[in-house]
Structure 1
């Protein structure tokens, strides 16, 4: 009788929560995470002047965030399963907000790098929980619409980053690209406490310490090598240690990690059985492909806008508005559509539209290219990213057992983030090769003739356009992965009732 009463009370308490309000609170944290992956790029000159730092140090301000964000994602997903997603999310947001304040108050490049590293850890704690929460807050027939909003937030945040960063640096100083996170983060903490339910399934089995160490060190070595290989000219890092050796060691550690997960008799950090689910494995591969393309877009595009079109950082940021608008409109629509159609076709359409949009951007990258042609191409590309992102997440997590949702979300985000890092590194190397083959010098003298200026701009434009063909090719490979997705709608194969639940809110699957 008591058990029944408690279950009824738990259901009532949970049902009183509005899942859309809870999603809004979670999206505040997710917005901050994604915005901070791009906001620093436009502030690099200001930070260098303000902290009297060199380019290498400021490059690390960007790289260290990506490192400490990508590496702990697998562990963070499992922490949500073990200790509850709400407390782990709140902890991550508190760490992220405090670290943002620390970044804004930093007086040296070393302090700023340390603060950014802590900020990345906070982001890693939050990211898997936001995706896992959607699968428990919403029933299957409404999950696509919710993930559509989640995906739209990701697209909006990454494009708002350069726009907001350019405005803040120009009007208030570089410190405010970090300090702006503080009031938003505090508001997000209050919203999460009040609006997000706290009764998620918990898994109290053993924690995989060897798997944690192997995956963490392996991912760190691979991401470090890829993210910073260009800085070290793909040669010596320190003493006899080279970039290929670092990447090779990381790959070996990850292979050992996979073998350990295969033979681990206890609870594995990364259940390999998830990759036997074609919904998950194909969506994870597609996520890496779109992460590669989105990250790979920014370097050649920014270089073209500022060096060829000679736009200021603020003007270049404004030119990214069409991507934010179209992605924000397409995401919720595509998510809702994936509730009615097999998600693979919506994701495939998004990939093909994004690839076509990048092709239009390549055609617009001429020495005399116009703003409106580029803006139109960016708008079209944004439709593709918004259409692909949300249904892809729905396909990946829709069929996962409840006990593995946190691990699956962590794996999905880790794979996507590694795709982002590989994209940034590969495009950077290709861009450098294109520039060295097409330009005799790396700078243009102030007293250059009109012919010299045109030749310089033509070389930069051609190098930028040619480099963008690599993300287009990767998107087409990702489209093939979309075709391999099962046509049927995904459905979980394990019921949440078999798992121990937190009191009092234990019926999250029936919310909404």
Structure 2
């Protein structure tokens, strides 16, 4: 019986490269969460408006999600290490600007630039891993990458709380500078350059259409709750003037996204027929693992970040924790995610990756539904931390292995595009999930608070004022209500209502994760890795050769 050839194993230098790639991922992920706990201090020092507060948080996300695909494709052409180094430089310099920002307008502008740097870094790290590691080592490397994302999403609030409490909100950005220097030195020393052999011109029109597609969609998802999903909010001001139409701007942004997406697909097909390069080779979607994996990643991401959105708000405004205490609670998620990294490495040679994805998503469901079940105004922290550990374990297990499943049949020369596509799918899923779960959180909070105040006999005008204050401040007004003995009963009702909102947001996240679990069954059942051996590698090689021949 013929045996499959032995898989090449990574050397020490490649494992050191993974360390610095993981630190680069940490830099990007931490920045997307660390700012949330620094916002109150930023408001106090820079005296920024509520609209500016929103854009300090969302400018980064909007640009980041819009450019992932573009920079993933460019990395394949210009060199993956070169793109990673350039992205870290842009991100680090922008962090210096953010730390020194004298006012809200400059801070928001710098956050846009940070988003550009982040979009240069994230898909490139995945592409480098895909090009560097093989076989079991690739599974371990993806496990480390995925656990880093899950863990750092929880470490961000802890780090931000500590820096903001003991130093200044400016250090929430300043911390990126020494980390950036370490990453640059490590990547330069240990990461090998790699790039695609395709020397055809870059598809500039396709790049523009991809940015318009993602940018208008993410903007609509982010701003829908504040501008109105269909009917415009009363007195809506948009782009410096009163909004003149009976329809909110949001449907127009969604329409623009759909038109851009159609144009992107049509343009890519046109160029492919003429044997010219495309921003995204559409034949990648003929690979079942890539196509179905991206669908699963988008759906799973709808639910994965629900807790990161609602739990810090609840802990600080209903439970009364400060930013640092909130970070300590969320540390349970980070620990669970890092534990998953070791478990995934141990299982990678015994279990098909798709089954590890399913186990991870199941753990996420148990964790997030468990958190919803124990949420109460007087809930002990231990129960929440325990379920956060389970949830974090699931994130660490599922995120990395799903990434490996998506990219396993993607040719190395197109790994940047593949990485950018799956990262974009996750970002769009996260944006959609945050929009929906945020709506669940605040709509439930507002409706239950209105009912409670009505039962308490509070006059309608006063009740409306209290509901608006609590919802618009994401619960921040509760502390002020509690400070006045006359409004303490209203504050207690607001705590209970915010708890209801957080609970139903958690249950909604669990529902999305159930859909994500169902979506993974389109990836097949798989067998044990050693039972499939070289046959699978042979099938993958034949598929890649067929696709290459088709393009030629």
Q: TM-score, normalised by structure 2?
A: 0.84
> Could you list the per-position Cα deviations for residues 87-111 of structure 1 after superposition, in whole angstroms to 9, with x for gaps in the alignment?
1111101101111111101101111
Work out which of the residue numbers 508, 515, 518 in structure 2 matches 1:477: 515
Change over 3 Å in CA distance of 1:208–1:121 after alignment to 2? same
Flag the structure with more relative contact order, 1 or 2, with Cα contacts below 8 A and sequence separation at least 6.
1
* Paired residues of 2:341 and 2:396 also in contact (CA < 8 A): yes
* Paired residues of 1:293 and 1:471 also in contact (CA < 8 A): yes
Report the Cα offset of residue 486 of structure 1: 2.8
Work out which of the residue numbers 226, 247, 258 in structure 1 matches 2:265: 258
Q: Which runs of 5+ in 1 are unaligned?
A: 1-13, 499-512
Give the aligned partner of residue 49 of structure 1. Answer: 44
Asked if 1:22 corresponds to 2:60, the answer is: no
Work out which of the residue numbers 40, 46, 51 in structure 1 matches 2:35: 40
RMSD: 2.3
Asked if 1:369 corresponds to 2:379, the answer is: yes
Change over 3 Å in CA distance of 1:495–1:452 after alignment to 2? closer
Asked if 1:154 corresponds to 2:149, the answer is: yes
Q: Which runs of 5+ in 2 are unaligned?
A: 1-8, 451-466, 471-476, 530-535, 547-552
Give the aligned partner of residue 407 of structure 1. Answer: 417
Change over 3 Å in CA distance of 1:289–1:174 after alignment to 2? same
Give the aligned partner of residue 75 of structure 1. Answer: 70
Give the aligned partner of residue 324 of structure 2. Answer: 314
Report the Cα offset of residue 335 of structure 1: 4.5
When structure 1 is superposed on structure 2, of 448-457 and 101-110 the one drifting more is 448-457
Work out which of the residue numbers 490, 493, 504 in structure 2 matches 1:455: 493
Question: Map of 1:289-304 to 2, 5 A cutoff?
Answer: 289-304=299-314
Give the aligned partner of residue 125 of structure 2. Answer: 130
Give the aligned partner of residue 249 of structure 1. Answer: 256
* Counterpart-to-counterpart distance in 1, 2:362 and 2:510: 9
* Counterpart-to-counterpart distance in 2, 1:319 and 1:96: 29
Q: TM-score, normalised by structure 1?
A: 0.90
Change over 3 Å in CA distance of 1:125–1:411 after alignment to 2? same
Q: How many residues were matched structurally?
A: 487
Question: Map of 1:317-466 to 2, 5 A cutoff?
Answer: 317-440=327-450, 441=467, 442=470, 443-444=477-478, 445=481, 446=483, 447-448=485-486, 452-466=490-504
Asked if 1:493 corresponds to 2:548, the answer is: no
* Paired residues of 2:151 and 2:392 also in contact (CA < 8 A): no
* Paired residues of 2:307 and 2:506 also in contact (CA < 8 A): yes
Change over 3 Å in CA distance of 1:288–1:51 after alignment to 2? same
Give the aligned partner of residue 165 of structure 1. Answer: 160
> Could you list the per-position Cα deviations for residues 28-71 of structure 1 after superposition, in whole angstroms to 9, with x for gaps in the alignment?
21110111111110011100111111121021011010011111
Change over 3 Å in CA distance of 1:413–1:162 after alignment to 2? same
Asked if 1:224 corresponds to 2:272, the answer is: no
Report the Cα offset of residue 403 of structure 1: 2.2
* Counterpart-to-counterpart distance in 2, 1:200 and 1:215: 22
